[in-house]
Amino acid sequence: MVDGYLKCSNSSYLFSGWLSSKYPNLDLYSHNSGHLWDTLLGWKFDPHFSPFHILSIALIAFGFLLLVNSWGVLYKAQRKQSIASSGPYSYVRHPQYIGFIIIMLGFLLQWPTLLTLVMFPILLIMYLKLAKTEERESLKIFGNKYKEYMKKTPAFIPNHLKKGGSNKVNRLDL
């Protein structure tokens, strides 16, 4: 593209003309410039030690821990042909998707690009649709047992995090 608006495949270069006029000392070819939040806020220290980067690492690590713990419980339940209802599944019905969403948030916070901004809502919608599909399948397979599990276990937001700690969660709740 002309006028310096698209110099490379990284989406920060898409706005290079605007960014370089607003931030004349910005080196769009350096790795540190990919940490856009730090640049926009004018932070001058190493972006790898910024609050955004540290928070993103914590989110990504927590998301992976949630995934690992969820998959272990789900694997055991599938082998027994039973409902996964212990561990993370005792708090929410879809902890693995929560883990993926937390990981995506971490990467979005750490390295915001046009692609991550576009893909985040698309992946979020896909995970919500997948969760609904899995709920229908689980109701067919487990019937009333799964209905009871749905009544006491929210889909995504643990009861202790909800305002008032509501236990009324017989559908996918958002």
Return the axis-axis angle of helices 95-110 and 51-80, rounded to nearest 10°. 160
Give the integer Cα–Cα distance in Å for 91 and 108. Answer: 26
Count structural domains, the chain: 2
27 and 51 in a single domain? The answer is no
Give the integer Cα–Cα distance in Å for 108 and 60. Answer: 10
24 and 54 in a single domain? The answer is no
CATH number of the CATH domain containing 123:
1.20.120.1630
Give the integer Cα–Cα distance in Å for 140 and 30. Answer: 54
Q: What's the pLDDT at 31?
A: 58
Cα angle: 139, vertex 145, 82; to 5 degrees: 85
The model carries a pTM of 0.73
Which residues have a Cβ under 8 Å from the Cβ of 152 and sit 6 or more positions away? 167, 169
Q: What's the pLDDT at 37?
A: 73
125 and 55 in a single domain? The answer is yes
Residue 46's φ and ψ, nearest 5 degrees, are -55, 120
Q: Which of 15, 16, 28, 11 is nearest to 108 (CA)?
A: 11
Mean pLDDT by 10 residues, the chain (174 residues): 40 55 60 66 78 92 97 96 96 96 92 82 95 96 96 90 55 48
